[in-house]
Amino acid sequence: MTLIAQNQGRREFLGRMGAGALMLALADRSRAAGPPSGKPMQGLFPIGQTPCRPDNSIDFDGLAAEVKFCNRGGVHGFVWPQIASGWAGLTQKERLQGAETILAAGKGGKTALVIGVQTTTGDLAGATEYAKHAAKNGADAIVSLPPEKADENAMFEYYKGVGMATDLPLFVQSTGDMSIDLIVRMFKEIPTMRVVKDEAGNPLQRVAEIRERTGGKLNVFSGNGVRTMITEMERGFMGHCPTTGLSDIYAQAFDLWHAGKKREGFDMFGRVLAIDSIPNADGYMLIARGVFKEDTITRRMTLAGGGGGRAAAGGGANRAVAPLDETGKREIREALNTYLKPYLKG
């Protein structure tokens, strides 16, 4: 190798190193400035349910009531639409109107509003359109599931494009076998990335490495029903995404724990597990608490291409209370009044 070639190779190497350092510096500067809204990207961020009337049309008043419930209850954030929202069964018109409804209902409140931007085809152009619409209408952050059947390089380019679409904080949802290496790479090279909602592999075993390799600057959120919240907090998760019905109780558990009152936080989370042990309590909770109307149904999860998600495609809706009878409804309401009333804030 000639001296000229050696020098050229050295310059190229230093150039790549300098570019990488610059990207990391820009990312750190962006994160240090905090989100535009000033709302912390940590805490309880329930995945909003999509209330529908018996004819399967969305009850946008019910969706707005869900957001107001979170604001009254001191819930840190609210995310819609994602898997628990039946997002893939929503039309573009429904998603845009739903986002506008949520952002109008939560305007001026303390609950951070996070809008989902993924599409059924996984195309970046569609996600960018949703992201820009969210930013225009006052969202505090955006979130996206990864495109299906994409390799890690394609996932990186997708999330990089979504992150560049707006200045809003970006939540990345991990699924399947998304590696920690990819998560760390995205964090270092996408300045707006603030959160990973980790549901790939075993999140409880992954969280320590993710936090260590990102210098504790990337907030790791849990999903999967948030059934292991105490262990999640002990291991370093900084956010949790249950459903909305008991999110005010979850939020109190989070606040108590992080205020150093761990025994009280433990007991508060225990109340969630206790009420959830009653059959059908989770599905009926927002009706029992007066947020949704008695005849509310929820949109089924429908996947592109006609495949079934949590429920098979075709019907488009599923009663939130089925197969709950009047006795079961009464038991849930009585349990709320008898055991949880002092703690209900929503």
Q: What is the pLDDT of residues 180-191, one digit of tens each?
A: 999 999 999 999
User: 281 or 18, which is more confident?
Assistant: 281
Sorted by sequence, the CB contacts under 8 Å of residue 174 that are 6+ apart come out as 146, 183, 196, 197, 198, 199, 200
What per-residue confidence (pLDDT) applies to 141? 98
What per-residue confidence (pLDDT) applies to 31? 54
Average pLDDT over residues 2-23: 47
What per-residue confidence (pLDDT) applies to 323? 78
Measured over the CA atoms of residue 167, residue 51, residue 226 and residue 313, the dihedral's sign is negative
The string of pLDDT tens digits covering residues 245-301 is 999 999 999 999 999 999 999 999 999 999 999 999 999 999 999 999 999 998 765
User: What is the rounded CA–CA span in Å between residue 27 and residue 217?
Assistant: 11
- Give the number of other Cβ atoms within 10 Å of residue 116's Cβ: 28
User: 23 or 212, which is more confident?
Assistant: 212
User: What is the rounded CA–CA span in Å between residue 138 and residue 129?
Assistant: 15
What per-residue confidence (pLDDT) applies to 301? 53
What per-residue confidence (pLDDT) applies to 34? 57
Q: What is the mean pLDDT of the chain?
A: 88
Strand positions, DSSP E, 7-111: 43-44, 51-52, 77-80
User: What is the rounded CA–CA span in Å between residue 344 and residue 291?
Assistant: 13
Instruction: Indicate left, alpha or beta for 88 from its phi (over 0: left) and psi (-120 to 50: alpha).
Output: alpha
Closest CA to 182 of 166, 167, 168, 198: 198
What per-residue confidence (pLDDT) applies to 149? 86
Is pLDDT of 175 > 60? yes
Beta bridge partners of 142: 115, 170
Beta bridge partners of 51: 298
Q: pTM for this one?
A: 0.87
Is pLDDT of 346 > 70? yes
What per-residue confidence (pLDDT) applies to 154? 96
Could you give the angle at the alpha carbon of 19 between the alpha carbons of 154 and 146, nearest 5°? 20
The string of pLDDT tens digits covering residues 290-341 is 999 999 998 765 443 333 332 222 233 444 445 799 999 999 999 999 999 9
Average pLDDT over residues 142-147: 97
Sorted by sequence, the CB contacts under 8 Å of residue 243 that are 6+ apart come out as 46, 47, 49, 84, 282, 285
User: 37 or 128, which is more confident?
Assistant: 128
The string of pLDDT tens digits covering residues 66-124 is 999 999 999 999 999 999 999 999 999 999 999 999 999 999 999 999 999 999 999 99
